[in-house]
Structure 1
Amino acid sequence: MSGWFWRTLGGVLLFLAGAVGVSVWQFSSYAPKDTPMPEDKAALAWFIDDYPTARRDFLMRAEALSRQLQGTRSIEVEVPSGRSTTDLFVDGLYIPAQGIEKRRLLVVTSGVHGVEGPTGSAVQRLFMHEFLTPERLVGPLADTGVLLLHTVNPYGFARHRRFTENNVDLNRNASVDDALYRTVNAGYPLVDSLINPQGPASTGSPGHRLFHLRSIAMIAQHGMPALRQAVLQGQYQVPQGIYFGGQRLEPQLQALGPMLASILDEYPLSMAIDLHTGYGERGTLHLFFDPPKDPKVRQGLETAFAGQRIDWGSGDDFYTVTGDFAGWLGQLRSGGTHLPAVFEYGTMDSQKTLGSIKSLHITVLENQGVQHGYASPADEERIKRDYREMFYPSSPHWRTKVIKDSRAMFEAVLANWPRVGAQP
């Protein structure tokens, strides 16, 4: 009897060990699949990998538009850096409404998360080249001003990080008062031990090899929606932790605030399109909008994006954030109506549990490496490669689809835009 028991126990343990081994391999080798499509070299040419070259191209195009249109104004905000990275700027171009009336302002911003900057810059420069033509802006959009902000987080673009030099997530940092920085994310302590490990980052450590199993255990205990919200909402107490929103407004936002407020107040209606990558189904342009409390805002967004699928935050895979940049632009206004919109180009199938856990794991490893160093050069190379690939896929299929979908979305929005009613 005892022999049978031990043989059975051994078989069970062997099975469990095999199952764990298979799951570790599956998690380690996880890679979302692209939607196959013909490679478009013209589309791929919009993507510029490095910050200085992308910046030069934006400035060149901004100068060309300034020669064609009346009353344009350039914006340049230097971002101080105490490290080796220098010559960091948030650049912008303001094109006032070319007609007599100033009724609507369209704001397009990129690089709030620095590592997402190459894609945001590509889409933004495409928008400048194909859609900001004198024919449009003097014709059907004559009452519309346009404000472009290129690479709001240039440090992150230059260093391939989501966060600023101060480890601050600008999309959790934007606020018109200091109350935000006293906010307590009640769920964050539940996940702190999982997402903020100590010591040099090693992809082969037991904690990281079994990260998905540890995450699944937490999901079983607390539920996926609660954990996703706890992790991604933003937090203001752990400066070295992920999704840190800061303890004060970051320098570039301090400098931008007054000049943006004066432009926004020239128009009774504004809409901000903030360009992001990462979250959601790979190869899909998601419209992720926080559910607005003001019915005028919802109606305005529904009109602007008529015919498009809007994710209003009703699903279990959605989360809300504090201190978001697009919403902050509306807070700068002294009146009128503001429509905050986010274009999110999915990369990791993070609407699914495995993709979500994998995305989190890559983020955790990257932050651990920045804060505590790397166990080896090989670990550093792999972690940085995986992190950049998560936000800026090298796949020509993915990049081609970004340009194709962006072109179609801007075409649809600009066709709808004159029907969006300005509110006094």
Structure 2
Amino acid sequence: MESFSDSYAEARGKFLVACAGVGARVTSYPREGLLGEIGEALATDVACLGPEAARRAAIVICGTHGSEAFAGSAILTRWLSNTYDSPLDVHVVFVHAINPWAFSYRTRTDENNVDINRNFPADIASPAAENPAYDAAVHLLHTDPSDAARALELHRAYKAHFEAHGWAQEGLIWQGQWHRPDGFMFGGRAPSWSNVTFRRIVREHLSSAATIGFLDWHTGIGQFGEVVHLIFDEPESAEHRAAAGWWGLTTKDDGVFKTGIKPKYRGLLCQAIRQERPDARIAGAVIEFGTADDYQIFRGDLIDRWLRFEGRDHPDANALRAAHVDTCCPSDISWRRLVEARGPELIDQLLAGVAGW
């Protein structure tokens, strides 16, 4: 599994070597003022291939959630190293580690606990609104999951809570919250560094394109090894039909949750592409690789938050951090082989789709 890495520094090194191997044009956006877990410099690296002035472009992002970046980074490196074949009329833009601090520290959120994928609402500067659904379940979320048996009981209580109050309430939690800075899905009170940097990347590298396709790599949603596509345009829209067609999807393939619908996420990173380029035709998806069962994901997420706050000095912090990372990027060889095989294929489908749209 040579494309996978054990650290941000290793992943960045492999990505840059792969970029050099195909002559990609690389622009680095340093994260000034912060160092990584082992003292390394942090940056978001952008690799471009194909004609910069092309009227069609495809942008592929990894590392929106830091601990999920190991898989996305491996896919970008694998594609560049082994399957590079870009359509002549498509400008290809790879964004490696848009949230580099979180990648280095193996956590989902940035140095301020901001979930980058909730940090792009149009009203980010407005006063924080309450999220009653989140507050009603906070006792099940802001708690110590270090003991596996206790975490299992918490998970059972979590499921019972939504069985009693309706799974739509879980969807309200997943939408994001802006009033608990120490909580899950915290969207922040101002644009994060990743927000400002991603908008700059869109303006600097996608300014010529009239048609833009995007793919944002994530992990966790879906059964172990399952590929889940999340398309956020309206199902009857031309953009939804285009993205579904690129990846050969039917309506049922477009990932759903227990309620039968996706939560109405606010502040997604991919929404910034349309905010910055409202004149362009834009379609795409978040693509997830499933990693574990519901309990493991639940405990892994609780561990991640708890280690950032109440559990920072726990004697088993390193082992618990590793358990969290394994729910985002399993060490299982068959899973990694699947990611290395399917990931580049999904990029190829994006490029072919954009070229023909």
TM-score (norm 2): 0.89
Q: Measure, in 1, the Cα distance between the counterparts of 2:172 and 2:278.
A: 32
Counterpart contact for 1:174–1:253, Cα < 8 Å: yes
Contact 1:164–1:170 (CA<8 Å) still a contact in 2?
yes
Q: CA distance change for structure 1 residues 259 and 365 in 2, over 3 Å: closer, same or farther?
A: closer
Q: Among residues 269, 276, 285, which one is paired with 1:341 in the alignment?
A: 285
Q: Deviations over 1:380-423 (max 9, x none)?
A: 24422221110010100111111122233334444444321xxx
In 2, Cα distance between equivalents of 1:205 and 1:392 = 19
Distance in 2, Cα, partners of 1:316 & 1:256: 32
Partners of 1:246 and 1:307 lie apart in 2 by: 34
Does the alignment pair 1:234 with 2:176? yes
For residue 286 of structure 2, what is the amino acid of its counterpart? V
Structure 2 counterpart of 1:329: 273
Pairs within 5 Å for 1:404-415: 404-415=341-352
* Mapping for residues 384-423 of structure 1, pairs under 5 Å: 384-420=321-357
Q: Secondary structure at the match of 2:44?
A: strand
Paired position in structure 1 for 2:109: 163
**TM-aligned CA deviation for residue 107 of structure 1:** 0.3
The reply on whether 1:58 has 2:4 as its aligned counterpart is: no
Kindly provide the amino acid, as one letter, of the partner of residue 55 in structure 2: R
| Structure showing the higher helix proportion among its residues | 1
TM superposition shift of 1:278: 0.8
Q: State the partner residue of 2:298.
A: 360
1:87 aligns with 2:41: yes
Aligned with 1:105: secondary structure? Answer: strand
Give the strand-richer structure, 1 or 2. 2
Corresponding residue to 1:223 among 161, 166, 170: 166
Equivalent of residue 157 in structure 2, options 214, 217, 238? 214
SS at match of 2:270: helix
Q: Does 1:254 align with 2:196?
A: yes
Is 1:192–2:135 an aligned residue pair?
no
Q: CA deviation at 1:294?
A: 7.5
- 1:82: how far off? 7.3
What is the percent sequence identity of the aligned residues? 22
Rate the CA distance shift 1:180–1:288 in 2: closer, same or farther, 3 A: farther
Q: Which moved more, 1:285-294 or 1:157-166?
A: 285-294
| Alpha-carbon spacing, 1:183–1:341, altered in 2? closer, same or farther (3 Å) | farther
Structure 2 stretches lacking a partner, 5+ long: none
Q: Which residue in the other structure is 2:82 paired with?
A: 130
1:97-176 correspondence runs (5 A)? 97=51, 102-133=54-85, 137=86, 141-175=87-121
Counterpart CA distance in 2 for 1:57 and 1:83 is: 17
Contact 2:58–2:93 (CA under 8 A) maintained in structure 1: yes
Q: 1:202 to 1:186 in 2, by over 3 A?
A: closer
Shift in CA distance, 265/300, structure 1 to aligned 2, threshold 3 Å: farther
Q: Secondary structure at the match of 2:194?
A: helix
- Contact 1:181 1:246 (C-alpha < 8 Å) held by counterparts: no
Structure 1 residue 341: Cα displacement: 1.0
> CA distance change for structure 1 residues 394 and 79 in 2, over 3 Å: closer, same or farther?
farther
Compute the displacement of 1:169 (Å). Answer: 0.9
Which residue identity lines up with residue 95 of structure 1 in the other structure? L
Is the 2:36–2:101 contact (alpha carbons within 8 Å) kept by the matching residues of 1?
no
Post-superposition offset of 1:83:
8.0
Work out the CA distance in 2 between the residues paired with 1:91 and 1:407. Answer: 19
Matches within 5 A, 1:16-55: 44-55=1-12
Structure 1 residues 202, 283: closer, same or farther in 2, change over 3 A? closer
| Contact residue 199 and residue 272 of structure 2 kept, 8 A | no
> Is the Cα–Cα contact under 8 Å of residues 29 and 197 in structure 2 kept in the other structure?
no
Contact kept? 2:225, 2:290, Cα under 8 Å:
yes
Residues 239, 103 of structure 1: alpha-carbon distance in 2 compared, 3 angstrom cutoff:
same
- Give the TM-score taking structure 1 as reference length: 0.76
Moved more, 366-375 or 107-116: 366-375
Give SS of 2:33's match: coil
Residues paired across the two proteins, number: 354
Distance 1:206 1:413, change over 3 A: closer
Shift of residue 79 of structure 1?
Answer: 4.8
Q: CA deviation at 1:220?
A: 2.6
Unmatched runs of 5 consecutive residues or more in structure 1? 1-43, 350-354
